[in-house]
Amino acid sequence: MKIFFLGFLFIFCTQKGMSEELKISEEYPVVILGGGVGALTSALYLSRAGFTPLVISGPVPGGAITFSSRIQNWPGEKEISGVELAEKIQRQVQDNGSIILPENVLKVDFSKRPFVITTKSPYDEKIREIKAQNCIVALGSMPNFLGVPGESIYFSRGVYSCATCDGGFYKDKAVVVVGGGDSALTEAQYLANIASKVTLVVRKESLQSTDLQRKMEILSHPKIRVLYSTIIEDVLGNGQKVSQVRVKDLPTGANYEFSTDAVFLAIGSKPTTDLFQGQLELDANGYILLKKGLQTSKEGVYAVGDVCDPEFKQAITAAADGAKAALQLQKQVSGSVHASKSDKMSPAAASSVLSITSEKVLEKEMKETSSVMFVFFYTSQCMPCKRFSLLYESWASSYSQKIKFCKIDCHELREVAKKYQIHSVPTLVILDKEKRVLWKGVSINDHKIINALLEREKDNPILDKKIFNIDRS
């Protein structure tokens, strides 16, 4: 992205008004890095105190909590999904005047005020420089990987890090979950409701979860078997999908293989703090060191949640950190000029994307298509899908006169997803009116290609379907 600050920035807004542009002032009293519960709680407290914080939500809107299919320990909620909880908090934050920017942070400069934060859109490559008098770091953590042969080859084609995103593709199939902690047990329970068999591969001699009830449920579940003191050494397949894993029994050293259709990783995480090397003091494991309350080694910079918490790693403790950091910041900047709330979002425009509710509706829409039809395959629990939907809605807003835009929930229309060989989400399929597949893209790089193509062809009154015959080599 190039530097666009000539007084204002324009972004596509999240949730409310996805296809609508927002005006953002160049400098903020507070910029919050991260989109999880800790970040959103800080934004809520600050916006209600008269600030207009900018939340740079990053690659996973809603944070790590969105990977939990069932949450039963959030006060006031008997049971709620992580996605639903994150969306409720985000709506509340936006209703109170916070602005959310769904971009990635490339680098920060905390050497002097105003701090400079450089961001990049995941799709159009544009670079922004955002200035902040204060900053709250709440980037959370990222999942670990095994680092074994086959893992990268089959990632998104049988190897995943989110059961709620991709588990639905393995109904009545055999799957593996790797890990022995709380997240692994949550994934195993979720998948046991979908798959025919779940094998939980645990490196240690026992489950490491702190939830005794959940442990008992796992050990007594008829669909779940647990392999203790076992590691995966290789992920095997036919080049297109996973078929087996090779494992090693640690006490005996014996290797053996067994069949599986998918592998789901739940083996912990590491703090997302590489950006702050040389900017903030970190401990030996990369966690941000706190000096006074939630303040870091740099005055005006605060940290909350998993970036500074190697022990608890709970959504509720991240929310508490977020509230305390906001209150501490308020005290320290008391009397300073707050940003105006005049840039609040206006009501969302009607979506130009049609939700397909049956295969008959899809057939009808294809028959009525004059040129090409874009079909976005997604699931309701998939956070990468929600991120891609921002771009997809913007395409629909700009090109609906030339292209028909539709979306299909893979969990609702499983047979349609199977027909188009959808194995992971988000997937974009481009069809012509003869029902032929012109393009199929899964990765963010595929989506970038289409974004660049549409930008190049935006002044053409009619789009020739031949433009989608693209060499991706």
CA–CA dist 340, 82 (Å, integer): 32
Residue 394: pLDDT band with limits 50, 70, 90? confident
Output the six-digit token pair for 242: 């996973």
Give the sign of the dihedral formed by CA 151, CA 153, CA 154, CA 156.
positive
> pLDDT tens digits, residue range 6-21?
222 323 333 333 333 3
pTM of the predicted model as reported, rounded to 2 decimal places: 0.68
Output the six-digit token pair for 83: 């996605």
Residue 359: pLDDT band with limits 50, 70, 90? very high
Q: Among 296, 300, 292, which residue's Cα sits nearest to residue 329?
A: 300
Percent of the chain with pLDDT over 90: 58
Active-site residue among 13, 109, 135, 165? 165
Q: Among 316, 322, 344, which residue's Cα sits nearest to residue 45?
A: 322
Query: How does DSSP classify residue 143?
Result: E
Active-site residue among 166, 309, 321, 409? 166
> pLDDT tens digits, residue range 120-176?
887 767 788 999 999 999 999 888 999 999 999 998 789 998 887 778 889 999 999
- Return the ∠ at Cα 251 (arms to 245 and 256), rounded to 5°: 25
CA–CA dist 231, 148 (Å, integer): 10
Active site residue 162: yes
Cβ neighbors of 133 (< 8 A, separation 6 or more) are 27, 28, 29, 30, 113, 114, 115, 300, 333, 336
> pLDDT tens digits, residue range 40-49?
999 999 999 9
Q: Write down the residue that tokens 């992971």 correspond to.
A: 424
Q: Write down the residue that tokens 């295969």 correspond to.
A: 359
Q: What are phi and psi of 67, to 5 degrees?
A: -85, -5
Q: Among 383, 139, 159, which residue's Cα sits nearest to residue 270?
A: 139
Output the six-digit token pair for 155: 């990632």
Q: What is the largest CA-CA distance in the chain?
A: 68
Q: Is the pLDDT of residue 470 over 80?
A: no
Active-site residue among 13, 95, 124, 162? 162
Query: Would you call the peptide bond into 61 cis, given omega within 30 degrees of 0 as the criterion?
Result: no
CB burial readout 177-215, b (16+ within 10 A) else e: bbbbbbbbbbbbbbbbebbebbbbbbbeeebebeeeebb
- Tell me the domains of the chain and their CATH numbers: 8-142+269-332 (3.50.50.60), 159-265 (3.50.50.60), 354-468 (3.40.30.10)
Residue 357: pLDDT band with limits 50, 70, 90? very high
Active site residue 166: yes
Q: Among 260, 261, 252, 204, which residue's Cα sits nearest to residue 227?
A: 204
